[in-house]
Amino acid sequence: MSRAKIAALLFALAASPLSADVVIPSSAFASGRNAAEFHSDVRVFNPSTTPVIFTPVFYDQSSSETITKAAVTLPGRSQVAYDNVLASLFGRSVGSFGPIRFQTSSPLVVSSSVNNVNGCGNGSVSGQWLPGIDVQGALKAGTLVQLAVSADGSQGYRTNVDFINPGSSPANVTVKVRKGDGSQLSSATLAPIGPNGFFQRTLDDGGTFPGVAGTTDTNLWVEFTSDQPVLAFASVISNASGDPFAIVMTPEIVPAPAAPVASYSVSPASPKTGESVTFTDTSTGNPTTQLWDFGDGSNSTAGPAVSHTYGAVATYKTAHAVTNAAGISAATKDVVVAAPEPAGPTDVTITAYTWAYDPPLTTLKVGTTYRITFKTRDVTHGAALAALGLQDCGTITPSTPCVRTFTPNASQIDTFTFYCLQPSCGLGHETMTGQIKIER
């Protein structure tokens, strides 16, 4: 196979520009257990030297409202602060929570802290840092680790898990809660999360994740899969103090693909001219593209199995090239094409009758070789065939037919009647039993 043919399999993939839309997966201005009150403080930083314009959008899960604020121009190399962002920027009151999206086409760094401003019920402040996540970082499969639950609500920890769909199509998410050793504690398929939708539950809420309620464990983890890319994070909160810490999603490790190793089969292995030959890919490495070279100047990229017909006797040097994301491989094979074997005689059966005023007629073609089997139904028979240039059939019985091979020629074009030669035919002399018509 030529280098040009192999190179024809390689594709240049255009890289899609990354969006700079950034999502704070969860924000809160809300009351919690043990007199806790949560505020979210947000910082937006412009890492470039030129101004950046962004539009803040809040998806309030308490009221199902979408609140879009006026676009903000942030000078280069500067940062803007929004303390208790749901109140100061979006005008929300206590009881609001949900994700915030900062829509922009420019590089932007967003981070937040979620603070309990009444820790231990005495006004102390404790909190967690939560990074903004670029929507291009959304995952279809990932994990949340270092989670915990407690059967006693006054001590230990509780865990809230959050899923955000930053896309335009509903996301169907399946979540599995596992113990540290990998054994499954619970599984749930969430209701579809709509575009820019948000899902938040406590692991041990008693309904969403059956089997978790009543468990005390500080070594849990969650794996999730989704048909649409989603953002996920967890908040692990001390039941005693209300002090939280954040866990952001980790992508599943996908093994690097192995380069393919080309191989293929040819069936039949020794084809004849005019016969359909099937080439079947047997390569390893899950190739994504295929090129077949049949050695006679023709080729195909039709797929893992193709058919081809050769018109001339020859030895053809065939080749097969395959590619995947990890590389390219090619294999070759000689295909020896032979002439077709001469056709065998055409089988014809003639059943002779004891007597027939209108005997059965068998039509034969000039130049075709026939293997004629003369049979009889019930009596001892014979057939006079000398008129066809054939040896007569002396005795024919139901168990011993007479077989003759015959190739009519142009001088024999006519209709011939053949007769019974045996006294047992019934009349003691020759009787007409059948006819053979020879035509071009």
For residues 110 and 112, give the distance between their C-alpha atoms in angstroms, rounded to a whole number: 7
**What is the CATH number for 293?**
2.60.40.10
Looking at the structure, do residues 239 and 147 belong to the same domain, yes or no? yes
Cβ proximity of 164 and 173 under 8 Å: no
Q: What is the pLDDT of residue 68?
A: 96
Looking at the structure, do residues 248 and 267 belong to the same domain, yes or no? no
Looking at the structure, do residues 318 and 226 belong to the same domain, yes or no? no
Among 318, 337, 356, the domain-final residue is 337
Averaged pLDDT for residues 32-56: 92
pLDDT digits (tens, 9 = 90+) for 373-390: 888 766 666 777 888 888
pLDDT digits (tens, 9 = 90+) for 251-295: 998 788 889 999 999 999 999 999 999 999 999 999 999 999 999
Asked, for residue 11, whether it belongs to a domain, the answer is no
At 396, which helix (H) or strand (E)? strand 393-396
Q: What is the pLDDT of residue 396?
A: 80
Asked, for residue 382, whether it belongs to a domain, the answer is yes
**What is the CATH number for 353?**
2.60.40.420
More confident residue, 361 or 170: 170
Asked, for residue 147, whether it belongs to a domain, the answer is yes
Q: Please list, in sequence order, all residues whose beta carbon lies within 8 angstroms of the beta carbon of residue 355, skipping any fewer than 6 positions away.
A: 425, 426, 427, 431, 432, 433
Provide the whole-model pTM: 0.56
Asked, for residue 231, whether it belongs to a domain, the answer is yes
Among 117, 137, 157, the domain-final residue is 137
Cβ proximity of 109 and 99 under 8 Å: no
Strand stretches in 123-256, DSSP E: 124-131, 133-134, 139-149, 157-164, 173-179, 184-189, 198-202, 217-238, 244-248, 250-251
- Using CA atoms in the order 416, 422, 425, 427, what is the torsion angle rounded to 10 degrees? 90
Looking at the structure, do residues 114 and 210 belong to the same domain, yes or no? no
pLDDT digits (tens, 9 = 90+) for 239-255: 988 778 889 999 998 78
Asked, for residue 4, whether it belongs to a domain, the answer is no
Tally of structural domains, the chain: 4
Q: What is the pLDDT of residue 33?
A: 77
Among 105, 137, 169, the domain-final residue is 137
Q: What is the pLDDT of residue 3?
A: 36
Asked, for residue 314, whether it belongs to a domain, the answer is yes
Looking at the structure, do residues 159 and 131 belong to the same domain, yes or no? no
pLDDT digits (tens, 9 = 90+) for 175-201: 999 999 999 999 999 999 999 888 999
- Res 353 pLDDT > 90: no
Asked, for residue 6, whether it belongs to a domain, the answer is no
For residues 206 and 191, give the distance between their C-alpha atoms in angstroms, rounded to a whole number: 16
Q: Of 334, 152, 173, 299, which is closest to residue 239 (Cα–Cα)? A: 152
Looking at the structure, do residues 223 and 280 belong to the same domain, yes or no? no
Looking at the structure, do residues 207 and 296 belong to the same domain, yes or no? no
Parent domain of 377:
346-439
Looking at the structure, do residues 314 and 411 belong to the same domain, yes or no? no
Residue 113: is it exposed, middle or buried by C-beta count within 10 angstroms (0-12/13-18/19+)?
middle
Looking at the structure, do residues 321 and 245 belong to the same domain, yes or no? no
Looking at the structure, do residues 107 and 210 belong to the same domain, yes or no? no
For residues 194 and 185, give the distance between their C-alpha atoms in angstroms, rounded to a whole number: 27
> Parallel, antiparallel, or unpaired for β 361-365 and 431-439?
parallel
Looking at the structure, do residues 99 and 189 belong to the same domain, yes or no? no
pLDDT digits (tens, 9 = 90+) for 388-410: 888 888 778 778 888 989 999 99
- Res 424 pLDDT > 60: no
Asked, for residue 60, whether it belongs to a domain, the answer is yes
Looking at the structure, do residues 320 and 431 belong to the same domain, yes or no? no
More confident residue, 72 or 416: 72
Q: What is the pLDDT of residue 218?
A: 97
Q: What is the pLDDT of residue 390?
A: 87
More confident residue, 430 or 347: 347
Mean pLDDT of the chain: 87
